[in-house]
Structures are given as structure tokens and as C-alpha cells.
Amino acid sequence: MAITNLIATSTADRFFSSSFGKPNHFVSHRLPQTTHRDRVITSRCYRAMSLKAVKTVIVPETSDGIGIVRFLKGKSYFVTGATGFLGKVLIEKLLRASPEIGKIFILMKSKDQESANKRLYHEIISSDLFKLLKQMHGRSYEAFMKRRLIPITGDIGEENLGMNSEAADKISEEIDVIINCAGRTTFDDSRYDAALSVNALGPDRLLHFGKKCKKLKLFLHVSTAFVTGKLEGTVLEIPLCIGENMTSELNIETEVKLASEAERKFHGSERSKKLKELGYESRAQRYGWEKAYTFTKAMGESVIHSKRGDLPALIIRPSCIESSYKEPFPGWLQGIRMTAPLILGNGKDQIPDLFGDYQSSCDVIPVDMVANAIIAAMAKHGCGNVPEVKVYNVTSTSHVHPLRMGEIMDFSYQHLCNSPLTETTTRNLERMKFHSSLEEFTYSVSNAITRKEREMKNGEGEAESHTTLSMKGKRTLKYFLSLAKTYQPYMFFQARFDDTNTRSLLQELSMEERKMFEFDGSCIDWEHYFINIHLPGLKRELLRQRSS
């Protein structure tokens, strides 16, 4: 069913443009540019109206909807990245929504089958994420999980996926869908060779394997909404392709060769440093991307577009994936990720400074909504009728009142003042200050660290900043500067993601399916989500990490 896409246009104080190579052509509109001077903005409540999102009017749908549960029954899957944050939530929902599902073959990087079995037990079967399934199946829980989940020793970064021929042949006879959740997903830049191997070449290896599968109905690839590089305006749901909406000057084989030469030339810690610099400073920036991660994910999408042949393919592009909204329970999180380091900088280290724009868009989506969107898209297109690569932006900035970065900091400040991270953390936090100048940010953070050191040493709150920082203070300053540079693209983000395809998919669901597979980001009350769900979940994850 068709649905009108409503995108609100807002004035941007700052936006990024591609400085190198040919321009990106994903953008349908350009945000107006305004003069931007260095300034400091103290975090404050941004919205004058209610924080409850405006709901889109739902058009009538057929009673049967897509038939998601019917599709899932008896189907078998091959999943990469299954032990990651999104991968785990996806597997949990598949098993809970359809106990009569077939097998889920999980590619695991392990030295042998025994190690793979142990990883499956410790990282998935015994995870607290699966407690609802434990309640559903009682004493037969482990037997159920071991029947459904089959660990396969392999590596998406190796030829033939690192699988032995016997395992590959077995899987190729049984699977209906390939789901690629694997990726080098760190915000800070990983080694260029590793990012290329997993993000760019991994999809090629999976496609090669998929073409050998006897009854494969769909190839589903999880990318990122930020895959289109330095962004402006409205980013459309259009597949990437070198020579069309990516510069024809880019050649993946050349990039792999450059990374291989650097890997051979350098050794030890210098090798790692040089390969990180190659991906970020030399290659990504040259072609108009902020990070090696998004740059190599873009290459991966292009590979799928150009090499899939007749294989039906979908690309799911989530934005910043955060803790679960509802399922299997609110606030489940794995790892200190996405916005967490920024929140912890204030709540734990008590540094009230951010390098960014208070008004910048912050596109966040809960992990359970991403998993539900994946399942719904898979069921819709699982019949194999996908003449072109279909893209779904699973995002939140296209809605009437997109979340702002400053609001997240306001919500965090409000929560952490009432409920500090630890017993030793003070409740007297300062409101976050936003700096548009890196120099001003550095000066303010240095002052804050100096002030803390003077208070600890003398018990006095003197604000003079001329005292030389201790070695620990210098390390802290270096960390915050590194954090500022890593998050800079997202802290001044002004684009919005079109989600016409995703909204249309939502309209095709029956009312029962919408309740069971919810992914409507416009219904999220962000104040409630951050204060009552996400931040308590972040605290639980910190406690879990300290106790493990």
C-alpha cells in the first residue's frame, strides 16, 4: 500500500559536504546553509510541546497482513554476526515468534567445533536476553535451543567463509534465507584491512555461497543508515552502486591492494596505527566518507548491487541502534555503545562539555524495532520476487519532531541527577555545554580536569586552570579529545533519512502483526525511553561488566 512520506524541513546551523571525489547523489533536498560562528550552548529543554511523538494516520489494511508467522514456520536460516547486539535480539525474536521455525545455522569464528559449541552456550543459550524463552520452554529450554541453533565454524573474513566443504554442502541444502549481521561496527576506526575484509568483501563471499544454495529465497544484508557518507538534506532509500551514486574512481580491488601493501610493510603497533590512518585519513576522507566503517559498508552495498545476479536481495539500514524498547524486556543492552560514552563522560567523569551542536539530529532506533523490521521485510520478500535491490531505512529522523542531541543530554542530566551511576558519584552534575569550536572544547575540558584535580588535592573548588595537568589528567584530556573527533560527524548531523519503504511496509502489517512486530519509531516517547528505559539499562550493563 502506498503511504505519503511526510518530511519536515529544518534549518541547519552546520552541514557536511563532500570535499573529495564526485558528489553523492542520494540526497534529494539540500538544507539551507546559514552563517555559523563559534559559540557555547548550555543544554536546555528544547521542545515546547509534548514529547510524545505525533502518530501517523494508519490507512486500512488487509486482515491477513503480510503473513509473518506463516512465513517463519519451518524456514531455516544462515546468520552471520549472531553473537553481536542486533544478531542476538534477532535470533531471540525469531525463536519466540515461531517455535516451529526450522534450523538457524550460525557462523562462528572458532578454532574447532567444540569451541563453537561453547561459544553458543555461553554467549547465546545462557544469556539473560533469552529468559522469556526459558520460561516458555521450562526444562526443555536447552534441548530446544540446541535443536534450533546450529553453530558452524567459519569466518566471514576468509575465502569460502572459512567453512569446511561438508558443512557448506549441508547448509546449502537446507537454508531458505541468508541474514548478514556481521560487520566491523566500532565508531572509532578499526584497521582498514579488517574493515575491508568483513564489510566490503564479506558480502561478496556470502553471495558466492548463496548462489550455491538449492532453495535460497532471500539474501538480507544489514548495513547502516550512515552508509552514504557526508550527508545533507534527505537521504533516500536507494541502493549504492559504484559509477552511479558512488564515484566511478573508487575501485575495491585497489583499496584491498593498498591495505595489503601496508599490512606487509609495517609491523607490530606501527602496522595497526598505519592501517587505521590509511582507512580514515587517506581513503575514506578522499572519497567523501567520514569513517572507514561507513566507507567500507558502502563498498559492501555496492558489491551486493553489482554481483547478486538473480539472487533476491534486501538491504536494511538502521541508524544508531540502542537498547530494547519493549522486547524481550525494556532496556536490554550489550556493550558500551553509541551514545553511552557521551553520557558517561558527564555522569561518571563529570566533564560537562561536548563538541557538537545542541540542535543536531540524533537518529536513534531501539534494537528490538530493528529486529522486527528485518523479520517483516524478510517475510514480505521471502517469496523471492525482488527484481531490484530493496532498501529499508529503519530510522527516526523523518518523523515530525526528530530527536535532538541536546535532548538526549537533557534527559541524561535529569536522570543522573536523581539517580547517579554509582554510590560515589555526586548528584551535583553540571548541565552539559555544547561547543562548536574544538579549541573552545579543549580549553573547557582541560579546565574541568584541572579543577577536579585541585579539588582532590586541596579540597578547594578553585577554578584557575594554570596548574599543569597530572599524567592521569593528560590521559583523560586525550581520551575526551579522541571521543570528540570520533563523534564529530554525528554531533553536527543535520540530515534526515527518508523511510518511505519502511513506512509502506508497516502499513501492510495487520493490527495483530503490528502488535507482535512493532517498529514504528514515530510512536516513541523519547523522554520516557531515555529516562525510564535506556539509562537504567545502561546502568545494568555497567554493573554486569564490572562483575564479569
Instruction: Tell me the C-alpha distance between 477 and 441, whole Å.
Output: 11
**DSSP structure string for 302-337:** HHHHHH-TTS-EEEEEE-EEES-SSSSSTT---SS-
Phi, psi values for residue 362, rounded to 5°: -125, 100
Which residue type sits at 432? M
Grid cell in block for residue 429: 552534575
The catalytic position among 77, 192, 287, 293 is 293
Q: Are 285 and 20 in contact (CB under 8 A)?
A: yes
Among all chains, which residue has been given the C-alpha cell 524481550? Answer: 328
The catalytic position among 297, 390, 433, 539 is 297
Q: Name, in order, each residue with C-beta under 8 angstroms of 323's C-beta and a sequence gap of 6 or more.
A: 330, 331, 332, 333, 366, 367, 533, 534, 537, 538
Helical (H) or strand (E) element with 355: strand 353-355
Phi, psi values for residue 258, rounded to 5°: -60, -45
485 carries an active-site annotation:
no
Instruction: Tell me the C-alpha distance between 170 and 405, whole Å.
Output: 48
Contacts for 538-543 with beta carbons within 8 Å, 24 or more apart?
538/323, 538/331, 538/333, 538/336, 538/340, 538/343, 539/419, 539/421, 540/331, 540/333, 541/333, 541/334, 541/335, 541/336, 542/336, 542/421
297 carries an active-site annotation:
yes
**3-state class (DSSP) for residue 40:** strand
Length of the chain counted residue by residue: 548
Instruction: Tell me the C-alpha distance between 396 and 364, whole Å.
Output: 6
In the 8-state DSSP scheme, what is residue 495? -
Residue 475, CB half-sphere, CA atoms under 13 Å: how many?
A: 3
In the 8-state DSSP scheme, what is residue 230? S
Residues labelled as active-site residues: 293, 297
